[in-house]
Amino acid sequence: QKEVEQNSGPLSVPEGAIASLNCTYSDRGSQSFFWYRQYSGKSPELIMFIYSNGDKEDGRFTAQLNKASQYVSLLIRDSQPSDSATYLCAVKGAAGNKLTFGGGTRVLVKP
Amino acid sequence: DADVTQTPRNRITKTGKRIMLECSQTKGHDRMYWYRQDPGLGLRLIYYSFDVKDINKGEISDGYSVSRQAQAKFSLSLESAIPNQTALYFCATSDDRVGVMDGYTFGSGTRLTVV
């Protein structure tokens, strides 16, 4: 079992719809959770981070964390073609010394 | 100028050659990391360093070595490059101060091809 798992996609959503991305992790003591957006050939860009159970909203993005179920999700509201990218989930484990990344979910927003 | 700078941006090298990838940062972060990215495999940690005197192996350190020359500089070397080291390499930094967001800042990446 991978430490951080994501569906590779592609997740195809129509423009204006909500994209829902999920991530599960194996280290129950994990402390910090991050979502990065990566365009093809570019470096990952941090878009959201969450530390506590519940929801955290920032613009069109909402991160949701459920530590009991060991999953973190990302919602993208009013999806735009510019949101087409790969989204990487990253988790800082109980040791708190480095991030472990999932394989990424590719999102395609169709006009 | 970028906060985290990687050189070179692209490199083609031959099997068996020694090659060094360089990373420098202006963020003042103590923690630095080297990751490689392969299609469908996400980012995998090669080495990381929490200060100039601290070097730690990641999950895929075989065939690689690193040098932390200064707080701002962290270099990755491939002692004898092989084709399966063809990948996109990223350097990253993070802030370890208590109460500060501890996500990574990435460099622009180095695309390495070993032929």
pLDDT digits (tens, 9 = 90+) for A37-66: 999 989 999 999 999 999 999 999 999 999
Nearest to B107 among A43, A92, A103 (CB): A43
B45 Cβ under 8 Å from any chain A Cβ:
yes
Check whether B105 has a pLDDT greater than 80.
Answer: yes
Check whether B22 has a pLDDT greater than 90.
Answer: yes
A49 Cβ under 8 Å from any chain B Cβ:
yes
Residues with Cβ within 8 Å of B114's Cβ and at least 6 positions away in sequence, in order, are B13, B14, B15, B78, B81, B82, B83, B84, B85, B86
Q: B56: which strand partners?
A: B48
What mean pLDDT comes out for the span B53-73? 95
Whose structure tokens read 């962290």?
B74
B90 with A44: Cβ contact below 8 A: yes
User: In chain B, pLDDT over 90 holds for what percent of residues?
Assistant: 84
Check whether B9 has a pLDDT greater than 90.
Answer: yes
What mean pLDDT comes out for the span A90-104? 87
> Using an 8 Å Cβ cutoff, are A45 and A36 in contact?
yes
What is d(CA B47, CA B37) in angstroms, rounded to the nearest whole number?
14
- The DSSP 8-state label assigned to residue B63 in this structure reads T
**AA identity, residue A85:** A
Distance from CA of B40 to the nearest CA of A (A): 6
Mutate to test the interface with B, among A6, A8, A99, A106 (most CBs of B within 10 A): A99
